[in-house]
Amino acid sequence: MTSIDTSSASSAGASPSAASPASPTSRTSADSASGSGSGSGSGSDESRAFEDVVSDGVSPASLHGPVLAWFDRHARDLPWRRPEAGAWGVMVSEFMLQQTPVVRVLPVYEQWLARWPRPADLAAEAPGEAVRAWGRLGYPRRALRLHAAAVAIKERHGGDVPSDHGQLLALPGIGEYTAAAVASFAYGQRHAVLDTNVRRVFARAATGVQYPPNATTAAERRLARALLPEDEATAARWAAASMELGALVCTARNEDCGRCPLADRCAWLRAGKPAHDGPARRGQTYAGTDRQVRGKLLAVLRDAVDPVDQASLDAVWDEPVQRARALDGLVADGLVEPLEDGRYRLPLG
């Protein structure tokens, strides 16, 4: 996922439970950009990888204890971290939290799980209903992907979210990050779970730089694997805890080093917090973009019971070329279906 400021967007980590040893956090790194590089690997190879990239004086063990202890005290109580959420609740949260702050996700998540408590419930509905229920979370293709994943879970796995990482990865709409996150947060497995928050914590604490690269690198994946505790349950906890630390303390802007459990061993802080000297960090814009127009068009279709005529869509945006381009994009993405009579609706199948 595209890297964005996640100081308010991450919900990392869960409280331990029999069903969910560690639950997820809000996500701001996409599967396409931040593959988790999950997997155990050999201990000696991981140790060498760690030594190749970290600052002097930093060891995995020196980071684990303080972060896990901090997480025990400060982890947020979020619905997808509770035992009753189950693997489906974890998966839904992972889709919704991509590039979307927790505060916006919470009401939609609650409504979604109340309506579709299991994958088969969502699979039984038209994909357009998923788009409608997605509301204003943004990036509505996530709704279609989640619907497609629910259909595949029903057809391939008897309606239960699989625990096997490879089977998760084979589901529609699920990339390396989400597969690793669900396997770790829902099933307590040992995977490197790299979202933007985790990458930032590792960049600062272990390698001494302010920000990670714009796109996840092989070196970051090696570092994440090297930092994983050997014990599965502890590794799952670590994935959640490091994510929560990046969401609440080691934020993209206005980091609170005074509250950080790693302040006495953070390589970046020890170096005097040198300013970022890499490529410019990508920002996000919304006003006046095709994305804004798409959102306005979809809002009309979500609110409509019947198909919508062209005039109703034309009324949402004055510039006709941009409006037509945005509508064509929605159709191409499968979010809108054009009808033969010139009207439009959310997709039925």
What are the structure tokens assigned to 349, written together? 């199948």
The contacts of residue 131 (CB under 8 Å, 6+ apart) are: 140, 143, 144, 298, 302, 335, 346, 347
Q: Which of 46, 51, 84, 94 is catalytic?
A: 94
Q: Is 232 a catalytic residue?
A: no
- Residue 75 CA to residue 15 CA, distance in Å, equals 7
Which one-letter amino acid corresponds to residue 202? Answer: F
* DSSP codes, 97-151: TTTS-HHHHHHHHHHHHHH-SSHHHHHTS-HHHHHHHHTTSS-THHHHHHHHHHH
In contact, 197 and 6? CB cutoff 8 Å:
yes
In contact, 146 and 98? CB cutoff 8 Å:
no
- Residue 49 CA to residue 226 CA, distance in Å, equals 7
Residues annotated as catalytic are: 94
